[in-house]
Amino acid sequence: MIIKQLSVFLENKSGRLKEVTEILDKEGINISALSIADTSDYGILRMVVSNPDDALTALKESMFSVSLTDVICICIPNKVGALSKTLDMLSKEDISIDYVYAFSMGDKALAILRTENIEKGIKVLKDHDTEVLDADEIYGI
C-alpha distances in angstroms, 136 versus 16, 32, 48, 65? 28, 12, 11, 25
**Correct CATH for 71-139 of 3.30.2130.10, 3.40.50.720, 3.40.640.10, 3.40.50.970:** 3.30.2130.10
Q: What is the pLDDT of residue 86?
A: 95
pTM: 0.89
Q: What is the pLDDT of residue 138?
A: 85
Q: Taking each helix axis from N to C terminus, what angle separates 82-92 and 118-127, rounded to the nearest 10 degrees? A: 120
Query: Quick one: 2-69 is in which CATH superfamily?
Result: VC0802-like (3.30.2130.10)
Q: Taking each helix axis from N to C terminus, what angle separates 16-26 and 52-61, rounded to the nearest 10 degrees? A: 120
Same fold yes or no, 2-69 and 71-139: yes
Q: How far apart are CA 18 and CA 78, in angstroms?
A: 31
- Averaged over successive runs of 10 residues, the pLDDT of the chain (141 residues) comes to 95 91 97 89 93 98 96 96 95 95 92 95 96 89 74
Domain boundaries, the chain: 2-69, 71-139
Q: How many CA atoms lie within 13 A of 129 on its CB side?
A: 2
